[in-house]
Structure 1
Amino acid sequence: MANMRSLISFIVLSLGLLAAAESPISPYNLHEKRTHIPAEWSLQRRHEPTSVLPLRFALTQSNMDNLEELLMDVSHPKSSNYGNHWTPGQVLKTFAPSEETISAVRNWILENGFEEERVKVASNKGWIEVDATTEEAERLLQTEYNLYTHSTGKNHVACNAYHLPYHIQPHVDFVTPTVHFDAKITRRSDEPARSIGQPIFGSSPKTTGAVDDAVLISPTDVSTCDEYITPACLRALYSFNYTPVATSKNSYGIVEYTPEAYLQTDINLFAMNFSEGLYGKAPYMVSIDGGYAQTEYQNFSYNGESDLDLQYGMDLVTPAQQVTLYQVGDMVEGASFNNFLDALDGSYCTFEGGDDYTQDSKYPDTAPGGYDGPEACGTATPTYVISTSYAYDEADLTPFYSARQCAEYAKLGLMGVTILYSSGDYGVAGNGGLCLNPNGTQTLDGTMFNPTFPGTCPYITSVGATQVNPGSTVYEPEGACEQVIYSGGGFSNYFAMPSYQKEAVDYYLANYYPDYPATMWNSTGISRAYPDIAANGANYVVAIDGAFELVYGTSCSSPVSGAIFTMINDARLAAGKSSIGFINPTIYSTDFSGLFNDITMGDNPGCGTNGYNATPGWDPVTGLGTLNFDKLVAQWLTLP
C-alpha cells in the first residue's frame, strides 16, 4: 500500500500531528506511534503478561501504487476506457496481497517461535492472524501493552508504539491491537451503549424546532424558500424536474446507523403535505449486522437524520424510483463505516481485508439483545449512488486505518459506484466544534483546523452546504450556509492532493490564498482539498415524530445531491450507457467547467477564525458549487 503511505506521511508530519520517529531498534524500525492518550481514557496498569491478544497483521495489498491511475482510467472523461467499470472479481484479483508478502510475514512470525497451527492466513489473504500472549506480542513487536479505561467504564488494551523488522515493514499496513484507540464513544443516557466504532454524529442535522402548521406553504410554492426549504425549492434551485424512465435498472442508496431510524408515519405526514405519491411507500431496507428501523427510541436525535434523508431522497427521485436503505448495526454493538463496507465487498470483511477490532464492531454480538447472526460479508449489492451523512474527524483515526478504508472507496469507484459524504457542519473545525492542538489532541479551544473523514479521502465526493440568503429568491445566487451550521471544508492532514483537482485548487491558492499562519492549516499546497460540491443545507421542512421541524446541515446536502446524480444515472442507463461511477475526475475536468452554480458569498468559521471564503471557482467552503441538473445531464450524456 505504498502509494497510500505516500498520501499521508509527509503531510501529517508537516503539521506535527505525529511525533518524530526515534532511532530504530535494530533490526526493527518504528512502524506506528501515537502522541497522546485520547480524551476520556486513562492509563490503569500494564496488561497481564499471560492474557491472550488477537494479533492481526493487515497485509499490504498489491497494485496500490497504481490505484489512482487505474481509477482514473475508468473515470476520466478523456479516457478511452471511461465507464468500463470493473467486476468485483477483477478488483479482488488485482489488489490481493502477493504471495511474497504473505510468505514474508508468515515466516517471520514462525521464526519467532509461533507454531504453524497458530498462524492463520485469511481466506482472501488480506490478513494474518495469530493469538498471542501479551508477553509474546511484546517480544514480537518490541513494545509494551497497557490497560486503559474509558470514562464509560469500557476497557481497552493498547501500546504507545510498536516496531517491525525493516524487511517486514513494506508488507504490513498496520497491526492490531496496537496504537489504535476507539474513535469516540457517544451515548445518550436513555440509549444502549454504542459500539467503539460507531461513526460520530457531528454531521447529523440540527434543528431550530417545530414549524407552526399555519406557516406551512403549498407543495409548489417557492416564494418563501429563504425561510422554508421544500422539494419544490430544490427543484427550482437546481433545474431539477425529471421523470425517471429506467427505474428497474437503478436504485439510490442511503446509509443509516442504528439506533438512527426513520418512522413510516413521518414519511406519510411529509407525503400528505409535499409528495402525495410517497404516502405509504417505504424504502427497500437491507439489514446489515442486525440493523432495523427501531421505534423504541423516538426523538429528533433518533429520527431526524433518517427522516430527512429518506423524505427528500425519495421525493426527489420520485416515488417511481426505488430507494435502498442500508440500515447498519444492532442496538447494542452498533457499527462503523468498515462494517458497512464489509457488506458491500466480501473481500473487505473482518480478517479478510479491512477491519480493526479496536475501531469496528464485531459480530455475532453475544451481548444480551445483540444480533447473534453471522457478520454481513458481501451480503449487500451496492447501488450506483450511495449517500452517507455521518463522519469522523480525520484525527479520530490513524493514518494507516484511514488510508486502508479510503482505498476501499476507490475500489467501489472502479466498480461504477458514486460515494457521497457530507463534509461536516462546523466549518474548519471538527465534529462538535473541536479543533486540533499541536500534540494531536482535539479541544474546543484548539487553534488548528480539524478536517473530517471520509470527506478528505480523495476517492469519495464530499458535499458542503449552501443557503438561500435571507431576503433572496431561488432565482438568485445562493451563499455558503451560515445559519445554524457552517459548511465543513479545508485541507487534509493525511491525504495528498489527487491529480484531478490540482488545477482548480492551485487556482484558488494562487488567487485567494488564506491569510492564516501555517501552524493553523495545511498550507503545503499539496494536500487533498474538500468539499467537491455543495447543495442547500438550511431551513429544510422535515416531518419528525409527528410534526414538522426546520432542519439544517450538510446532512441535507448529501442526500439531495445523491438524488440528482441518481437521476443522471437514469438518463445514461436509459441510453444504454454505464453509471457515472466515481465522478470527481469528471466534474473537475474542463468539459464540465461552468456547469455548476458557482457560490461566491460566505465563509465557514471555526477554531476562532472566519474560516475560508467562498470565491469564484473552487473553494474550500462550497467546492465547485451546486448542481445544475439540466446542464450536467446533457454533458454526461455526451460521454461514452
Structure 2
Amino acid sequence: MRSLLSLVALSLSLFAAAEPTISPYALHEKRIVLPQGWSYGRKHAAGSALPLRFALTQQNIEEMEKYVMDVSHPHSPNYGKHWSVKDVLEKFSPNRETVKTVHDWLTENGIEKERIRLSPNKGWIEVDATIEEAEALLQTEYSVYSHVSGKEHVGCSEYHLPSHVKRHVDFVTPTVHFDARLTSRSSETTPQTQPQSVIPKSFRGGPKSAGKYAESIVPTDLSTCYEYITPDCLRALYSLNYTPVATADNTYGIVEYTPEAYLQTDLDMFATNFSTDLYGVAPYMVSIDGGYAQTEYQNFSYNGESDLDLEYGMTLVGSEQTVTLYQAGDMVEGASFNNFLDAIDGTYCTFEGGNNYTQDAYYPDPYGGGYEGPQDCGTAKPTNVISTSYAYNEADLTEFYAARQCAEYAKLGLMGVTVLYSSGDYGVAGNDALCLFPNGTQSVNGTLFNPTFPSTCPYVTSVGATMMKPNATVYQYQPEMACEEVIYSGGGFSNYFAMPSYQAEAVEYYLKTYPPDVPSYMYNTSGSRAYPDISANGANYVVAIDGEFELVYGTSCASPVNGAIFTMINDARLAAGKSTIGFINPTIYTTNFAALFNDITLGDNPGCGTDGFNATPGWDPVTGLGTLNFTKLVAAWLELS
C-alpha cells in the first residue's frame, strides 16, 4: 500500500509543471427536471466548502461485456475463472493521460496541488473546493435542494467542462446527480431527533404489509401455502431439500440501510416457530460507515425489510451457514448504493483500503453527531451472493451516473459475486407508482413506463415476484402465477442500457411470439435491457415484526429467497472443488438452463393506466425466466467446470 501511495504522489508531482491548455467549454451533463420529492431551496453561499469529485474515465470499459461473458458463459473455456481485485484494478484503472489532463486543468485554474488528491486506484480525483471555485471550474451555479423527507442536497442543473477534459471525465459530483445520501438530517448543521419518513420511497419501494394476525394461527404445514407462505412452503415450491456441507468456504450477504434494522427478538420469535436451531443466532454484521442495528425506533417501516430478509434468508440456508448483514450508514448521515460499493469493492473507491470520499455520505461526519470514523473503502469483503431489496427509479439518476455504478456490479461479477436486486412492486411503474412524461417528469399521472435501477443494469440479476394461485397446493403442476395481490412484479425495458447479448434471443422470442398488448410508445422498443431475469414468491409471507406476525408482500421477499437458493448451489459446487457461480445471467439464459426453471405463464404487471405486460411461456417482463427448481439447477451447475 505504501509503495502504491508513493507512486500516486510522485505522479501528481510530475504533473505540476504542465503548460496551460486552453479549449472551449462544452456541456457535460444537464438535468431537465428534478427527481420526485425534490424542490429548489436556495442559492448556496459562495464561500461554503464543496468536496468536488471527478470520476475519471476507465480503460477498457467498452470491453466489459466481453470480459464478463468470458468468465460467466457456460460455453466459455474460462467459465468460473474469476478475476482477482488486482486483475480488475489493472484492467480498468484510468490511464496516465486521463489523470494528467484533469490534474493539469485544475492547477491551471488556480487549484493548488496540495488540494488535489488522486485515489490509489486512480479512479477519482478529489478537490476540496469552495462553491465559488467550483462554479468557475464548471461554469455553473450551485443551489441547495430540499426533499419532502427533510434532507437537503447540494447540486446544480447543468455543468460544463473544457473540450480537452470532457473525454477524460465520466461525471463530476456533486452536480446534477440525486443518488444522494439517504440521510435523516434535516439541515446541514442540526441532526434530527427522529428520522423522517425513514428512507424516501423513491429509493426503496417495499415491502408491503397486509396487517397483523394472531400468532395462534401461524401455519405449521403445507396445506395453506396459498394463504400463508412459510419457509417450508418455499422449500416445497422450489425443491430445496439440501443440507450445506461447505459452509466454512461459502458466504451469503444481505444489505440493509440504516435506520432500517432487524430486531433480535423478532428473529427469535420466527425461529421459535420455523427454525428452532436459529434461536438466539444473529447475522454476522459488517458495519459500513457507522451502520448498526438500531433499536431506538420500531415499527413496520423501520423493521419490516430487515426482519423479512434475515428471517427467510437465514432459515433457508440453515444454522450451519453464516449470513452476513451489511448494515450501511449511521442514523445521521445515512448511506446509499455508492457507500456500499465503496466498502465491498476496493477498486471502486480505494485499492487495498483507505479513506477517500467519492459521492455520498461524508465520513467522518463534518457536522458532528454522526459517525466519526473514516469512510469504509475496500474494507468489507464481498460475499459470494449479495441480495438487496432496495431500488431507485432509473429516471432518478443520470445516464452517466447509472452507467458508472453498473460497471461496478460488472466488476463484482468478474470476481465471482452473484448480485441480486428486487425488481420493484409497482408493475411497469416506478417506485411509488410513478410513471414518466416525455420530458422526464415523474408522476402518478405519467403516460410512460418507468423502469427501476439497478434492475436495469445488465450486470445484476433482477428478481420479480410470483404468488400461489387461489386454493392451489405446492404439489400441483404450475401452482404459481405473477403476483397480483397487494403488489405487482416490476418489469419492463430500460431507457438507459442496451440489451445484453445473453438475453437477446429470449427477449426477441417474447416480442415476436407474444407482442405486448400496450402501445409501443409507452416503453423503450429500441432493443434495451429487459427485466426481471427470474422470480420467486412475493405474497403472504409470515414475518415476525415488532413482536407480532404480519403478512408481507413484495419483490423484497423474492430477492433474499433466491439469494439463499443460489448460496446452496454455491455450497454444492464448492464442496465439489469448483468455483462459485458468480454472475449467473449468461448461464441461466442458455437454452439448457432456461428449461429448468418453473415457467410462469399467468398474470400481468399493471401500471401507468395499463395492464402492463403479460406472463407468457418462456421469458417475459413480468416474471423473467420463472422461479427456481433447486434440484434441477444444482445438478446442471455441477456439470459445469
The TM-score with structure 2 as length reference comes to 0.91
Aligned equivalents of 1:100 and 1:197: distance in 2? 41
Aligned to 2:109: 112
* Contact 2:56/2:98 (8 A) holds in 1: yes
Change (3 A) 1:323 1:353: closer
| 1:335-374 pair list within 5 angstroms | 335-349=335-349, 360-374=360-374
The code of the aligned residue for 1:519 comes to Y
Name the SS of the counterpart of 1:249 in structure 2: coil
Q: Which residue of 2 aligns with 1:464?
A: 464
Q: 1:542 to 1:135 in 2, by over 3 A?
A: closer
- Aligned residue for 1:510? 512
> CA deviation digits over 1:408-457, x for unaligned, max 9?
11111111000001101110111111111222121111111111111111
SS at the partner of 1:102? helix
Amino acid at match of 2:278: L
Instruction: Indicate the SS of the match to 1:412.
Output: helix
- Distance in 1, Cα, partners of 2:291 & 2:551: 27
SS in 2 for 1:596: coil
Match status 1:611 vs 2:612:
yes
Partner of 1:306: 306
Over 3 Å counting, the alpha-carbon distance change for 1:79 and 1:191 in structure 2 is farther
Match of 2:8 in 1: none
> Structure 1 residue 149: deviation in Å?
4.1
Pairwise CA distance, 1:374: 1.1
Letter in 1 for 2:161: L
Q: Is the 8 A contact 2:351 2:378 kept in 1?
A: no
Contact residue 263 and residue 303 of structure 1 kept, 8 A: yes
2:163 partner letter: Y
SS in 2 for 1:256: strand
Question: Match for residue 236 of structure 1?
Answer: 236
For 1:304-335, what per-residue CA distance to the aligned partner results, in whole angstroms no more than 9, with x for missing partners? 11111111111111111111111111111111
CA distance in 1, matches of 2:464, 2:107: 50
Residues 461-480 of structure 1, C-alpha deviations (whole Å, 9 max, x = no match): 00000001111111231100
CA 1:51–1:298 in 2, change beyond 3 Å: closer, same or farther?
A: closer
Between 1:545-554 and 1:51-60, the stretch displaced more is 51-60
Name 2:546's counterpart in structure 1.
545
User: Take 1:510 and 1:629, find their aligned partners in 2: how far apart are those partners?
Assistant: 30
- For the 8 Å contact 1:435–1:442, the answer to whether it is kept is yes
1:523 deviates by 1.6
CA contact (8 A) 2:184 2:334 kept: no
Alignment partner, residue 531 of structure 2: 530
Q: Answer with 197-206 or 612-621: which moved more.
A: 197-206
> In structure 2, what is the Cα distance between the partners aligned to 1:443 and 1:418?
33
Would you say the 8 A contact 2:121–2:349 is kept in 1? no
Cα distance, 1:615 vs. partner? 0.4
Contact 1:181 1:358 in 2 (8 A): no
User: Residue 321 of structure 1 corresponds to which residue in structure 2?
Assistant: 321
Q: Classify the secondary structure of the residue corresponding to 1:30.
A: strand
User: Residues 515-549 of structure 1, C-alpha deviation per residue, up to 9 Å, x if partnerless?
Assistant: 3333311122x100000000000011111111111
**One-letter amino acid matched to 1:549:** E
Q: Which residue of 2 aligns with 1:8?
A: none
1:493 counterpart residue number: 495
Q: How far 1:165 moved relative to its partner?
A: 2.5
Q: Deviations over 1:545-600 (max 9, x none)?
A: 11111111101100000000000000000000000000000000123131000000
**What is the rounded CA distance, in whole Å, between the counterparts of 2:140 and 2:311 in structure 1?**
51
Q: Which residue is 1:34 aligned to?
A: 31
Task: Provide the C-alpha distance between the structure 2 equivalents of 1:475 and 1:75, rounded to a whole number of angstroms.
Answer: 33
Local SS of the residue matching 1:261 = coil
Distance in 2 of aligned mates of 1:116 and 1:559: 47
Residue 197 to residue 398, structure 1, CA distance change in 2 (3 Å): farther
Instruction: Measure the CA separation in 2 of the matches of 1:206 and 1:196.
Output: 15
Corresponding residue number in structure 2 for 1:82: 79
What are the residue-to-residue correspondences of 1:148-163 with 2, within 5 Å? Answer: 148-151=145-148, 154-163=151-160
Aligned twin of 2:4:
none
Aligned ranges 1:175-190 → 2 under 5 Å: 175-181=172-178
Note closer, same or farther for the CA distance 1:135–1:197 as it changes in structure 2 (3 Å cut).
farther
Equivalent residue, structure 2, for 1:631: 632
Q: 1:354 to 1:227 in 2, by over 3 A?
A: farther
Q: Which amino acid aligns with 1:574?
A: A
Is residue 196–residue 358 contact of structure 1 (8 Å, CA) maintained in 2? Answer: no
TM-superposed CA distance for 1:200, in Å, is: 4.5
SS of the counterpart of 1:466? strand
Change beyond 3 A, Cα 1:36–1:143: same
Deviates more, 1:552-561 or 1:268-277: 268-277
- In the other structure, the counterpart of 2:12 is none
Given the two structures, how large is their TM-score scaled by the length of structure 1? 0.91
Find the aligned partners of 2:488 and 2:44 in 1 and give their Cα distance.
Answer: 43
Contact 2:180 2:360 (8 Å CA) reproduced: no
After superposition, the Cα gap between the structure-2 partners of 1:550 and 1:405, relative to the gap in structure 1 and judged at 3 Å, is: same
SS of equivalent residue, structure 1 residue 516 = coil
Please name the residue that 1:16 is paired with: none
Matched to 1:566, the amino acid is T
Query: Paired residue for 2:18?
Result: none
- What percent of counterpart residues are identical? 72
Post-superposition shift, 1:46? Answer: 4.5
Would you say 1:125 and 2:143 are equivalent positions?
no
Structure 2 counterparts to residues 524-603 of structure 1, below 5 A: 524=526, 526-603=527-604
Query: Residue 400 of structure 1: CA displacement?
Result: 1.1
Distance 1:626 1:394 in 2: 25
Name 1:142's counterpart in structure 2: 139
The answer as to whether partners of 2:385 and 2:567 remain within 8 angstroms in 1 is yes
Give yes or no for contact 2:600–2:627 (8 Å, CA) kept in 1: yes
- 1:174 matches 2:174: no
SS in 1 for 2:387: strand
Could you tell me which residue of structure 2 aligns to residue 18 of structure 1? none
Whether the 8 Å CA contact 1:572–1:637 is kept in 2: the answer is yes
Equivalent pair of 1:203/1:424 in contact (CA under 8 Å) = yes
Report the Cα offset of residue 193 of structure 1.
Answer: 3.9
**Matches of 1:202 and 1:151 in 2, distance apart?**
15
Give the partner amino acid of 1:84.
Answer: K
Cα 1:201–1:513 change in 2 (3 A) is: same
Structure 1 counterpart of 2:222, one-letter code: V
Amino acid in structure 2 at the alignment position of 1:126: G
| 1:284 matched to 2:295 | no
How far apart are residue 148 of structure 1 and its match? 3.7
Give the letter for the 1:210 counterpart.
Answer: K
Distance 2:474 2:137 in 1: 63
Unaligned residue ranges in structure 1 (runs of 5+)? 1-24
Q: Which deviates further from its counterpart, 584-593 or 610-619?
A: 584-593
**Greater mean alpha carbon deviation, residues 404-413 or residues 144-153:** 144-153
Structure 1 residues 503, 187: CA separation in 2 closer, same or farther (over 3 Å shift)? same
Q: Secondary structure at the match of 1:569?
A: helix
3-state SS, counterpart of residue 240 of structure 1: coil
Distance 1:39 1:272, change over 3 A: closer
Per the alignment, do residues 315 and 496 of structure 1 end up closer, same or farther by CA in structure 2, a change over 3 Å counting? same
Using a 3 Å threshold, how does the CA distance of structure 1 residues 622 and 356 change in structure 2: closer, same or farther?
farther
What letter matches 1:444 in structure 2? Answer: V
Are the aligned partners of 1:193 and 1:333 in contact in 2 as well (CA < 8 Å)?
no
Tell me, in whole angstroms, the C-alpha distance in 1 between the residues paired with 2:336 and 2:585. Answer: 25
Distance in 2 of aligned mates of 1:611 and 1:209: 27
Instruction: Describe the superposition over 1:17-63 as per-residue Cα deviations: whole angstroms up to 9, x where unpaired.
Output: xxxxxxxx972322111102344444455444444433221100111
The superposition leaves residues 142-170 of structure 1 with CA deviations (integer Å, 9 ceiling, x where unpaired) of 33334444456655433222222223222
The change in CA–CA distance for 1:479 and 1:388 in structure 2 (over 3 A counts) is same
Contact 1:420 1:460 in 2 (8 A): yes
1:435-454 aligned at under 5 Å gives the runs: 435-454=435-454
Report the CA distance shift for 1:373/1:139 in structure 2 as closer, same or farther (over 3 A).
closer
Bigger drift between 285-294 and 105-114 goes to: 105-114
Determine the structure 1 residue equivalent to 2:88: 91
Any idea what SS the aligned residue of 2:413 has? Answer: helix
